[in-house]
Amino acid sequence: MTDPYIIDIDQTNINDVLQKSMQTPVLLSFYSATSEPSNLLAPILATIADDYQGKFILARVDSDAMPDIAQQLGVRAIPALKLVVKGQLAGELEGAQQDAEVRQLLEPHIGVADASGQEDPFIGQIQRAVSMGALDEAIASLESAITEQPAVMAYQALYADVLMDAKRIDDAEAVIKNMGDDALVPKAKARLFFVRQLDGAESAQHYQSQIQADGGGSESRYYLGVYLIISGQEETGLNLLLSVMMNDRTYQEDGARSALLSAFDFMGTDNPLTSKFRRKLFALLH
């Protein structure tokens, strides 16, 4: 695939692609080359992706070549579609699908609404630029928009996100500090915390291999937990962090507890996993 908004998934890029869902919805398409329904669905998906021109990312997963990914994400039948929005599973379809059914899955999640409930076209443009890897262009556009409308905190938060994508961590931190106590700040600070934690870490696959080999130690479970949380696999990541806290409170001076608290800010109070794991954390502490 040559379209920048159609990506073929493998073990090296799955976490990065899922992380993109924080800015742009990601439609995971699990297929098999030997499945006739998969072959019929493929051109439908390509046409829809082309129509939307980057409003969502079509991420294709060959379930025969990567059964671990399919199993990890709970795929039971092929073909399967899983829509991930801001790190959360927002909808799914299994089996053969028509054009209208796929569009019906996507339409409620395409674009970002502002406080009035209307779509902000500028934010959508930035998200599409980021999904296509045009980070410098996105940063320049955001800087111009913030100069013109410095009070729009959604632009500031998105600016910090894109700076983190561009590995400009210190610049992102400065932006977040300038946002004061806006409601968007806790989530931005939480992502910044996780990005700093992963700076210089091994790959997620490295830690996963260690856990599969011998159960892994605190380090493997901690870092894989962080990777999974920011890539949209929150529950598995939270359980890994909780296991570190249960067994090794000395690791990074109770670092797993700090990571769990940051995860709650990252996911937000409306995520049911936040309240679920807050209760588990409380029970563990008391």
Per-residue pLDDT of the chain (286 residues; tens, 9 = 90+): 346 688 888 878 888 888 888 878 899 999 998 989 998 898 899 888 888 877 889 999 999 888 888 888 888 889 999 998 887 888 899 988 888 888 888 887 774 334 344 456 788 788 878 877 889 999 999 999 999 988 888 899 999 999 999 999 999 999 999 998 888 899 999 999 999 999 999 998 899 999 988 888 999 999 999 999 988 788 999 999 999 999 999 999 999 999 999 999 998 887 888 999 999 999 988 8
| pLDDT score at 116 | 41
Domains of the chain: 6-109 (3.40.30.10), 121-178 (1.25.40), 204-285 (1.25.40.10)
| Strand partners for 138 | none
| pLDDT score at 256 | 95
Using the CB atoms, write b or e for 186-222: b if 16+ within 10 Å: bbbbbbbbbbebbeeeeebeebbebeeeeebebbbbb
| pLDDT score at 276 | 92
DSSP assignment of the chain equals ---TTEEE--TTTHHHHHHHTTTS-EEEEEE-TT-HHHHHHHHHHHHHHHHHTTSSEEEEEETTT-HHHHHHTT--SSSEEEEEETTEEEEEEES---HHHHHHHHGGGSS-B-TTS-B-HHHHHHHHHHHTT-HHHHHHHHHHHHHH-TT-HHHHHHHHHHHHHTT-HHHHHHHHHHTTT-TTHHHHHHHHHHHHHHTT---HHHHHHHHHHH---HHHHHHHHHHHHHTT-HHHHHHHHHHHHHH-TTTTTTHHHHHHHHHHHHH-TTSHHHHHHHHHHHHHH-
| pLDDT score at 113 | 31
| pLDDT score at 119 | 54
Cis peptide before 67 (omega within 30 of 0): no
| pLDDT score at 16 | 83
| pLDDT score at 221 | 95
